[in-house]
Amino acid sequence: MRSRILPRAWLKGTFLILGGIILLFIIAPVGKMIFASSPSILMESLRDSEITSSILLTLYAALLATVIGFVLGVPLAYLLAKTQFPGKKLIEGIIDLPLVIPHSAAGIALLFVFGRNYFMGQAFDGIGIRFLDSLAGIVIAMLFVSVPFLIDSAKEGFKKVDPRLENVARTLGATPWKTFSRISFPLARRSITAGCILMWARGMSEFGAVIIIAYHPMIAPVLVYEKFETYGLNYARPIAVILILISLVVFVVLRFLLYRRERS
């Protein structure tokens, strides 16, 4: 018995050390930046209209991108989870493509579709929507780089729904839409919510694609870059700290609400 416990203890201890190193790698830069910042400077930064407007714009644009991703991505996730068809693996690979494309390249690719001289850009321009240096441009950049998180999470949630429950609902006379809305979606809701949180957080942190297609109006990550390039580290740090704190608070609150709902 003792000979079995000792290797387990070594394994656990080794993994704790390795896990602690990567946790320290994540925590150290963020923690040092937060605790090295003066609360008075942070409060003064919050009173700066340029900073507050950029942060609010970031939160709003990420929310819009998440709503669009939810409306368009959840149905696709359901089809990928519940149906088999030729080319399914190819579509799943295409969905994950934004995760590996350099985001500056993604911004340029979006310009070739939604720019003023291209079909989609001209089509939307006809209804008064322009993407270059506009809120719409920020939203599509955030949507492009972050929607795989929502689709993949929702797909895994739908896969976990027992098909027998859906079949029973159908045999009792429920329509496909009613089965989806009453059975499939509620049972996959936790995964969908987690995907929405990840998509919102990823969209809010986007920089590379946004700066290509919509440098103005400035979202918070772009403003951090602008302040750093123009004035240096001390001017960029308060904005970065505020953005990190907001992200942390919102992320923890949403995770807590999701966990509480799961337990209840």
Residue 164 sits in a domain whose CATH number is 1.10.3720.10
In a shared domain, residues 212 and 167: yes
Does 43 fall in a domain? no
In a shared domain, residues 31 and 58: no
In a shared domain, residues 125 and 223: yes
In a shared domain, residues 96 and 166: yes
In a shared domain, residues 20 and 97: no
Does 227 fall in a domain? yes
180 neighbors 78 (Cβ within 8 angstroms): yes
In a shared domain, residues 19 and 111: no
Does 175 fall in a domain? yes
pLDDT at residue number 260: 67
Residue-level pLDDT, tens digit, the chain, 264 residues: 555 665 677 888 889 999 999 999 988 988 888 887 777 777 777 788 888 899 999 999 999 999 999 999 999 999 999 988 898 999 999 999 999 999 899 999 999 999 888 888 888 988 889 999 999 999 999 999 999 999 999 999 999 998 888 888 888 888 889 989 899 999 999 899 889 988 998 999 899 999 999 998 999 999 999 988 888 887 888 888 888 888 888 777 777 766 666 665
pLDDT at residue number 6: 57
Residue 163 tokens, joined: 């098909």
The whole domain housing 12 covers: 1-36
Q: How far is CA 61 from CA 54, 113, 150, 198, 246, in A?
A: 10, 20, 16, 15, 15
pLDDT at residue number 169: 83
In a shared domain, residues 137 and 170: yes
pLDDT at residue number 258: 67
Domain count, the chain: 2
Does 157 fall in a domain? yes
In a shared domain, residues 195 and 129: yes
How many beta carbons lie within 10 A of that of residue 36, not counting itself?
A: 9
